[in-house]
Structure 1
């Protein structure tokens, strides 16, 4: 325990394949709002990792010389987000953050780092992707911010598909496992304001998909297809299968968690600063991504799922792989 601390929040949550204890001296620590209630596990669970988020520095914290700790101390958070300096101290399976409003870092950085660390040591691949299931497998939905991934996922899961995750996937041996997070959504006809809570960003609301949709409860689902979400105009519907080389290029830049979240220095620190070890891990992850994407069909989905005719055609694509 990092010094005498009065904990006001103490909860163990599932983050895909691993469990994490989130402890804070802030009551009702807002970072927990970004995890589905389905992610909460009993307090007597022994977690894989611990994250302490404290308002004041505790005595005796181990020094942290990682690149991420240096960046946080300078006020640089992740992917060009800045704020007041944050003290970070990591030792073994415990990470301690000291600063104000640390909920701004738990989901944007720490969750990504923990998934990267897990897949670096245990194998597998961390992806930024939504995922849903039909009877015979999982479909990943990837794309740039604002491409309509959440709206697409919502429309399909309300009409027959089974929810897996809205944002993060761990892919191991072509098996898809999701992270039970809430969904950040902007107001619109797809959103029921009565079933939401306020997000950190005042322009967004939080929806717990494990309460809103039928959800998948098994550990992992075989990967069946990849969709590239590309919503542009309300009336158009076009679904086109992509050549493998195009699909891989898009996935590397918009789904590969290491690239999307700029975690390369974190991986290098996990490798003890050894560039050759970094190259080996990066090469293994990249090869796995290439194999996964080229082993199944990838479609660019340019459609408004709010229109019944479009939604029905997309559900048919989910079920039979066709482009009708």
Structure 2
């Protein structure tokens, strides 16, 4: 019966190494605005599919989905209106059929980026030997990629934007997949707010504010003249930790310190609370433990093969910015 749902719009989202078909019974779906890259052919094959069924749009009998809801940790949490970490919304019913995820509820755009993108990138990484990180990134000409990690509000987006406005090439805003020292960026929209860093860019490109959040949603090709890249070898790992009260600079730290921090603030399984989801995906203890061990070893390999820094840099100050980017490029 699930295959007979009325689908009124469907697009294939390009996440670089992963293609996801996003389908819905709505004519226009707010979740499409989260993404910046789509397959030109809407009939193109996809690795995964997310089908969002809005219960206000169609009168869907509860017996179609209620008894088929996933009995996993995540399935139970969805029914309580808890999606992932600090993301909440209307109660929803999650049904997983292979690589297709059906979700029945209301305002389901709140599940797409907060949960499904993170989940899909993580299980895809587990299945194909990648490490999924919460990390922004850019490439300095001839100097490889710099990954930016840090707590929320530490200044990663400002650091990324100022680097890309001053010669760096954009790699990723939020999600990065890594294997064998090579970073693969995940295309997405960029949400910015009117402040000292982005105010001029918002006016220059005549961006329209989101009606609910007041933020502005755009993409890297609009904000930055330098081209976006999809892949680059990692040269630097930078933990962004901006505090104007402390001395400015780019301070080398040990790989061990960087790895310890990243396991809590960058390693997707930990950062997004996906341990239960990954266990459900693998289905057995041994595979799950082996998968986690492999990804942790990849994280150690990444930081040991890179130059690791802690950055307290006011990237809006020209002298500080120039000095920081020069040091990363050396």
TM surpasses 0.5: yes
Deviates more, 1:59-68 or 1:279-288: 59-68
SS at match of 2:82: coil
Report the TM-score, using the length of structure 2 for normalisation: 0.90
Q: Return the alpha-carbon distance in structure 2 between the equivalents of residues 287 and 187 of structure 1.
A: 40
1:270 deviates by 0.9
Cα shift readout 1:120-157 (whole Å, capped 9, x = no counterpart):
11111000000001224111000000001001100110
Residues 1-324 of structure 1 aligned to structure 2 (within 5 Å): 2-36=2-36, 38-56=37-55, 57=60, 60-61=64-65, 62-134=68-140, 135-191=142-198, 192-194=201-203, 195=205, 196-199=207-210, 202-213=213-224, 214-217=226-229, 219-233=230-244, 236-272=247-283, 274-320=284-330
* Cα 1:3–1:44 shift into 2, 3 Å: closer
Distance 1:234 1:154 in 2: 22
Shift of residue 16, structure 1, vs aligned partner? 3.0
Residue 199 of structure 1 and its aligned partner are, at CA, apart by 4.0
Distance between the aligned counterparts of 1:115 and 1:246, measured in 2? 26
2:44 aligns to what SS in structure 1? coil
CA offsets per residue over residues 267-286 of structure 1, 9 Å max, x none?
A: 110121x2232211111111
The 1-side partners of 2:8 and 2:124 are apart by 28
SS of the residue aligned with 2:221?
helix
Q: Distance between the aligned counterparts of 2:295 and 2:223, measured in 1?
A: 33
- Structure 2 counterpart SS, 1:224: strand
Separation in 2 of the partners of 1:235 and 1:300? 12
Deviation at 1:5, TM superposition (A): 3.3
> What runs of 5+ residues in structure 2 fail to find an aligned partner?
none
Q: TM-score, normalised by structure 1?
A: 0.92
Classify 1:296/1:3 alpha carbon distance in 2 versus 1 (closer, same or farther; 3 Å): closer
Q: SS state of the match for residue 202, structure 1? A: coil
Deviations 1:229-252 (A, max 9, x none): 111118952210001221111111
Higher deviation after alignment, 198-207 or 239-248: 198-207
Give the match's secondary structure for 2:84.
Answer: coil
Verify the 8 A CA contact 1:15 1:111 in the aligned structure 2. Answer: no
Q: Secondary structure of the residue that 1:20 maps to in structure 2?
A: strand
CA distance in 2, matches of 1:290, 1:203: 39
Q: Deviations over 1:44-98 (max 9, x none)?
A: 3111111111113477555422221111012221114332210111101211111
User: Does the aligned pair in 2 maintain the 1:13–1:41 contact within 8 Å?
Assistant: no
Change in 2 beyond 3 A, CA 1:234/1:8: farther
Q: Any unmatched runs of 5+ in structure 1?
A: none
CA RMSD of aligned residues (A): 1.9
**Kindly tell me: are residues 115 and 201 of structure 1, through their superposed partners in 2, closer, same or farther at Cα, counting changes over 3 Å?**
farther
Q: Contact conserved, 2:90 with 2:107, CA < 8 A, in 1?
A: no
**Inter-partner Cα distance in structure 2 for 1:77 and 1:30:** 17
Following the alignment from structure 1 to structure 2, what is the Cα–Cα distance between the partners of residues 288 and 294? Answer: 10
Mark the CA change 1:183 to 1:236 in structure 2 (over 3 Å): closer, same or farther.
farther
Kindly tell me the number of residue pairs found equivalent between the two proteins. Answer: 317
User: Which has the higher mean CA deviation after the structures are superposed, 195-204 or 101-110?
Assistant: 195-204
